[in-house]
Amino acid sequence: MDPTSAHLSPFTLDAFALNALPPDRHAAAVKHLETCATCRARAEELASLRQHFTTHVVPHTAAALRRAPAWHTAWRWALPALAAVSATVLMLVHPVAPPVAPEEEPEYGVKGAPVLQVFAHRGERTWQVQDGEVLAAGDQVRFRVGSGGLPYVLLVSVDGTGQVSAYHPFGADQSASIPQQELVELPGSVVLDPAPGPERLFVLFSRKPLSFAAVKPALHELAAGGAQAIRARTRIPIAVAAQDSFLFEKAREKTPP
């Protein structure tokens, strides 16, 4: 009830229509509406306004919210095409390139979270590798990533022997463009060498190309901390829009399929 009058307040009428009043107040409102023509008329008017809003306003508003901004569409189609590369390697040769300054940290987030998935093939078996799983020399490893809408990716690794490698793109000196899909399988595969111990992968997503030379110092610093540091560290201090990491252990000898 409106404390200044004998009628139900607009707030009470709205709460009544939404069935949001406590039981005692709901019962009192029902009893009042049975005897008060003024409040019944106001309740009917409010119901008519709600129906008009639901029928004529909400559909147009929802459609506008779902529509992608024009700049987003143009940006997506303007991305460079991804060159198809296929390689199976036992050892990677590190390219020498002039350092490129890493991009500044973004002032806003990206769509979704960065994702790095690892798959292994041994004999007749192919499976998705779990973080921390033990793999063997000779296993073929492939990668799938989700960039959260970022256009460039660089996949690097550091292992317990101190070796740092660029796994994608192989043979290039900087990150590669990536199709704007939820998950993308990177071309090529890596055949694991017999060096035992941990190996950690870092996938780095950026809005402009990032050079491998700019990333190597952070990887060498991590390698200097030894196997336990490689197992524990899940990020490297590189200013990129997003990054994710993955750890696997390498057995000293080949494991039967």
- Residue-wise pLDDT tens digits, 27-67: 888 899 999 988 888 888 777 666 655 555 445 544 444 44
| Residue 197 falls in which region: left (phi positive, over 0), alpha (psi -120 to 50) or beta | left
First to last CA, the chain: 77
Q: What percent of the chain has pLDDT over 90?
A: 46
Strand runs (DSSP E) across 44-124, as ranges?
Answer: 88-89, 115-122
The confidence score (pLDDT) of residue 67 equals 45
Are 211 and 120 spatial neighbours (Cβ–Cβ below 8 Å)?
A: no
**Predicted TM-score (pTM) of this structure:** 0.57
User: How many other C-beta atoms lie within 10 A of the C-beta of residue 159?
Assistant: 22
Are 213 and 242 spatial neighbours (Cβ–Cβ below 8 Å)?
A: no
* ∠ CA 141-148-99, rounded to 5°: 70
> Residues with Cβ < 8 Å from 15, sequence gap 6 or more?
21
Q: What percent of the chain has pLDDT over 70?
A: 70
pLDDT, tens digit, for every residue of 102-124?
444 343 334 567 899 999 999 99
Rounded CA separation 198/214 (Å): 23
